[in-house]
Structure 1
Amino acid sequence: METVFNLSTKTGEIVTRLPETSTILKKYKIDFCCGGNRPIGDVIAEKNLNGPDILEQLNSAFIKSLEKPSVTWDEMTNKELIHHIITTHHQFLNLILPELSQFTTKVFRVHGNHCPELAQVHKLFHSLKIDLEQHTIEEENVVFPLIEAFEEQLAKEQMRELTAKIGDMEGDHEGAGDLLRKLREVTNEYTAPDWACMTYQLTYQKLEQLESDLFEHIHLENNILFPRVLNELKEVQ
C-alpha cells in the first residue's frame, strides 16, 4: 500500500491533507488541534498505541479518498475558511453553550451531594464557556475583519495589530485545550455512572460533542488559517 503518512508526520498536517482522518485520530484521542505540531509517532509512543495499525488506517483512508475528487481545507481561500468557521463552528457554540450551561447546573444541583466531581465539571465548563464566548466575539468583530481587509489593503499598524491578535487567539486555544483536558479527566472520559439519569448522561454526551467540534475548530485556525495569514504578513512587511 502506498504510504503517505508516517511516524514523523505531524498530526495537524494529517488532518489538513485529509479532513476525514480526524475521525480516526479522535477515536484514539490523538490531539490534532492545540497539539497539531507534534509528530504522530511521538503521540503514539506516549499513549502506547499500535502505531502500524493507526498508520495503516490513515493511509488507507488517504488512498480511498483518491477515488473521489475533494477540496481540502488548505485549498480554501481565507474568506472561505472564515465563512466556514463562523457558519459551522461559531454557530454550533452559540447553540450548545447555553444548553450545556443549563445541563451542568441542573446535574450539579441534583446530584452534586453524591458526586462531588460535578462541582468541578460545572466550574470548568463555565470557565470554558466564558472564554469561548469572548474568543468568538473577538474573532468576528476584530480578527476576521482584519484578515479580510488585509487581502485588500492594510496599514502597517493594522498588520502589527493583526499579528498580535492572532497570538492572542492561539493563546486562547491553549487555554481551551487545557480546560478540555481537565473536563475529560474529571468526567472519567465522559463516562456517566450506571445509575445516571437521562439528563446526566446527555450532559456528558454533549460535553464530548463540544470537545470534538472544538478540535476541528481549533485545527482550522491554528494549523491552516493563522499560519497562512502570518506567512502572508511576513511577505509584505
Structure 2
Amino acid sequence: MFKLNDTVGNIVTEFPGAAEILKEHKIDFCCGGDRELGLAVKEDSNDNLEAEKILKKINQNYSQKKDDYQKIEDPKNLSQSQLIDYIVNNHHSFLQQYLPRLSELTKKILRAHRENHGEVLKKVHRLFSTLKMELEEHLIKEEEEIFPLIKEYSEQENDIKNKETLNAILELESEHDTAGEIIKELREVTADYQLPKDACNSFKLTYNLLKDLESDLFQHIHLENNILFARLEN
C-alpha cells in the first residue's frame, strides 16, 4: 500500500492505474513526479480534497488491481530497449497522428467562432502551435539521437552514466517540463475544456482531442522521466 511520502512518479510506476486518479485531481505525476504525494496534492489540487482521501482512493483501486496497462506487460518490467520501442510505437505514433489533425482543427474553429470566442480560441491556437513545434522537434531528437544511444549502452551492458548521456537526458526533461506547462495553460485557458453553448461538432472534437492529447502526453512523459531516464540517473 502507498503512503503520503511516496513520490507520485513512483506511485504511477508501481501502479499505472493511479494516473487517472491523479489526473482527475489535476496532480502532475510526470514532470512533477519527484514530489511526495502529500506535497503534490497541496501544490496542484484545486478541489480542496485532502491528500489522505486521494491516497485512500489510490490504495483501494490498487487492491482491486485496476490498471491502465492491462493490455501490455507492466512497463517497469520492460528492458530499456523494450520500453523505448513501446514509447515510439505507441506514444510517438499517437502524436504523429494527432498533432496534424489538431493543427487543422484549431485553425478551423478559430475561423468559425472568431466573433464570439476569438479571445479564447486565439490563445488555444497559439499555445497548441507552440506545443506542436516543441513536440515535433523533441520526437526527432529522441528517435534520432537519444534513444539509439540509450539502446546501444543498454545492449552492450556498458556504464551508461557518462556526461554526454546524462546531459542529453536533462535537456529532454527540460523539454518535457515546457510541454507540460503548455498543456496546463491549455486546460486553464479553456476552463477545463468547457464547451460554449454554440459549440459546433468541430469545436467539440477539438476539445475532446486536446483532452486525449493531454492524457497520452502525461503517460508518455511519465514513462520517460520516471522509468526510462530514472534508471540512468540512479
TM-score (norm 2): 0.90
Unaligned runs of 5+ in 2: none
Q: Distance in 1 between matches of 2:155 and 2:41?
A: 43
Q: Do the aligned partners of 2:153 and 2:159 also contact (CA within 8 Å) in 1?
A: no
Runs of 4+ deviating beyond 6 Å: 154-158
Paired letter, 2:8: T
Structure 1 residue 93 displacement after superposition: 0.2
Quick one: structure 1 residues 156 and 41, their matched pair in 2 at CA, closer, same or farther if it must change by over 3 Å?
closer
Identify which of 127, 130, 134 aligns with 1:127.
130
The residue that corresponds to 2:228 in the other structure is: 225
The residue that corresponds to 2:195 in the other structure is: 192
Paired letter, 2:77: E
Are 2:171 and 1:174 equivalent residues in the alignment? no
The residue that corresponds to 1:35 in the other structure is: 32
Q: Distance in 2 between matches of 1:136 and 1:5?
A: 33
Are 2:22 and 1:25 equivalent residues in the alignment? yes
Are 2:214 and 1:211 equivalent residues in the alignment? yes
Structure 1 residue 191 displacement after superposition: 0.9
> Per-residue CA shift, 1:121-178, capped at 9, x if unaligned?
0000010001001101110000000001112449999943222211110010010011
**Aligned CA-pair RMSD:** 2.2
Aligned residues: 226
Are 2:63 and 1:63 equivalent residues in the alignment? yes
Q: Distance in 1 between matches of 2:128 and 2:152?
A: 34
The residue that corresponds to 1:235 in the other structure is: none
> Per-residue CA shift, 1:63-122, capped at 9, x if unaligned?
2229x9x84322211011101100110000010000000000001111122211111100
Bigger shift: residues 126-135 or 52-61: 52-61
Unaligned runs of 5+ in 1: 232-237
- Residue identity over aligned pairs, in percent, reads 43
SS state of the match for residue 19, structure 1? coil
Q: Distance in 1 between matches of 2:186 and 2:207?
A: 10
Quick one: structure 1 residues 76 and 156, their matched pair in 2 at CA, closer, same or farther if it must change by over 3 Å?
closer
Bigger shift: residues 101-110 or 57-66: 57-66
Q: Do the aligned partners of 2:127 and 2:182 also contact (CA within 8 Å) in 1?
A: yes
Q: Do the aligned partners of 1:146 and 1:158 also contact (CA within 8 Å) in 2?
A: no
TM-score (norm 1): 0.89
Are 2:99 and 1:97 equivalent residues in the alignment? yes
The residue that corresponds to 1:51 in the other structure is: 51
Q: Distance in 2 between matches of 1:197 and 1:153?
A: 54
Alignment of 1:90-169 (within 5 A): 90-115=92-117, 116-153=119-156, 159-169=162-172
